Amino acid sequence: MQRGQFSSRLGFILAASGSAVGLGNIWGFPTNAAENGGAAFLLMYIILAFLLAYPALMAELIIGRHTRSNMVTALQSIASSSRAKTAGKLTGLGGILAATFILCFYSIIAGWMIAFMLEPVAHFFGMEALGNWLTEFSLARNLGFSALFLSLTVLVISAGVEQGIEKWSQRLMPSLFVLLAALIVYVLLQDGAMQGLKHYLVPDFSQMADPQLIVRALGQAFFSLSLGVGTMLIYGSYIRSDENLPVVGALVTLTDTGVAFLAGMLVLPAIFVAQELGVTIYGGDGSLIAGPDLIFQVLPALFDGMGTAGLAVGFAFFVLMTIAAVTSSISMLEVPVAYTVETAGTSRIKATWLIGLGVFVCSAVVSMNFDALFGLVVTLTTEWAQPLLGVMLCIFAGWIFNRNSILSELKQGDAGVEQGLFWKVWPIYVKFFCPLLIVLTFAQGFF
């Protein structure tokens, strides 16, 4: 069977950055920053993204491209002993399950983004009742919009790597950059914006040693680079052989952190602009409003306060969110789909619709038991599964994957890689430091 492949370097970079840049960047990062001391969080996040997340990303890209297969087959094929093969199979299956469950909760939030995007439209046409329904929490709305969002995701993925993932990333990512830039300029020109900018950019170093801040920043970096569950591994398996992996990996990391940084430049100032307009931005305990309320209450209140212009700005903001979410969700769905197509021989279209349906059932169950399940699924997948699977991937790359195979894989894209800095540092780094640092960060969150 012919495997899909990205047709160009830019195609891959846009697709992989599309996966990386998502609700995690535009919602999660600014929210975390607002909650954890602004600039202190930003700094810690940038450090961890390059120190821990980039090496782990490289592990996934290299394993993926070398084996040209899904996570289960990939980890099994680089293992030589039967015990390592079993570990590979379990890790791979764990990754596929985690990716699927992440999509279950992601599709619910992404559905809200679409609903909030349509609200200004309804308002514009005088349909107040519809507008209220769109922004009020209800089971019907949650189910309807997560189904809509999942259908979009399924449509892109069923079209394959070049015609689906690459084509849509190439259309959507540039629109995302333009929208983001336009919104930042607009918000920074409003009264109050500078106060938010200061909160975001002037660090209070005393907060940086806060253990919670470090754990959050690491979790944020792993989630944001889509690590641990085989998303980057499968995207890596579609990169052309002559591509220079350390360079493209670095470009993706830079784009991802860059967009998170820019999203902070938009959201934090926006909070303080909202305050100028009379919106309450501090909670009862005196800390800045964060969590879901930030995006779904403070920002809409800000857009309302801006009159007619607010309709357009609000619409643009939630279009931005929706685009970011689609280019990420397709990368989650690709994980179980590639596995099913490659191991069971199912056709791509059939596999995509069936798995999409399964994810919808799962997200419906979560929606119907929202209070009990939503937080639980988020915690299990992003705080437990992702870091632990990330450790396994580093162990596979550092201890099990034959070093000469890694070197010859990298040489295809850069003949001189052996003399370069990457090859001097990365193999040792991914072998010892990455697993250790991830485990330590993870462990200190508990004690």
Give the DSSP letter of residue 333: H
Looking at 226, 255, 257, 441, which residue binds ligand TRP (CB under 6 A)? Answer: 226
**Closest approach of ligand TRP to the CB of residue 426, in Å:** 22
Q: Does residue 328 bind ligand TRP (CB under 6 A)? A: yes
Q: Does residue 22 bind ligand TRP (CB under 6 A)? A: yes
Between 224 and 367, name the residue whose CB sits nearer to ligand TRP. Answer: 224
**Closest approach of ligand TRP to the CB of residue 412, in Å:** 26
Q: Does residue 19 bind ligand TRP (CB under 6 A)? A: yes
Q: Does residue 23 bind ligand TRP (CB under 6 A)? A: yes
What is the four-CA torsion angle of 232, 427, 220, 152, rounded to 10 degrees?
A: 0
Among 23-31, 122-130, 262-270, 341-349, the segment contacting ligand TRP (CB under 6 A): 23-31
How many of the chain's residues bind ligand TRP (CB under 6 A)?
16
Residues shown for the chain: 447
Hey, what amino acid is at 180? L
Q: Does residue 253 bind ligand TRP (CB under 6 A)? A: no
**Closest approach of ligand TRP to the CB of residue 322, in Å:** 12
**Closest approach of ligand TRP to the CB of residue 265, in Å:** 17
257 vs 270: CA distance, rounded Å: 20
**Closest approach of ligand TRP to the CB of residue 32, in Å:** 12
| DSSP track, 254-292 | HHHHHHHHHHHHHHHHHHHHHHHTT---B-TTSSBP-HH
User: Could you give the string, one character per residue 228-247, with x where binding to ligand TRP holds by CB under 6 A and - elsewhere?
Assistant: -x-x----------------
Looking at 223, 303, 317, 318, which residue binds ligand TRP (CB under 6 A)? Answer: 223
Q: Does residue 332 bind ligand TRP (CB under 6 A)? A: yes
Distances from the Cα of 416 to the Cαs of 57, 251, 342, 376, in angstroms? 21, 19, 34, 47
Between 243 and 334, name the residue whose CB sits nearer to ligand TRP. Answer: 334
* Cβ neighbour number for residue 138 with a 10 Å cutoff: 12
Q: Is the separation of the CB atoms in 60 and 393 below 8 Å?
A: yes
Distances from the Cα of 21 to the Cαs of 73, 155, 165, 217, 256, in angstroms? 27, 20, 14, 16, 6
Q: Does residue 74 bind ligand TRP (CB under 6 A)? A: no
Cα torsion 32, 36, 38, 44: sign:
negative
Where along the sequence are the contacts to ligand TRP (CB under 6 A)?
19-20, 22-25, 99, 102, 223-224, 226, 229, 231, 328, 331-332
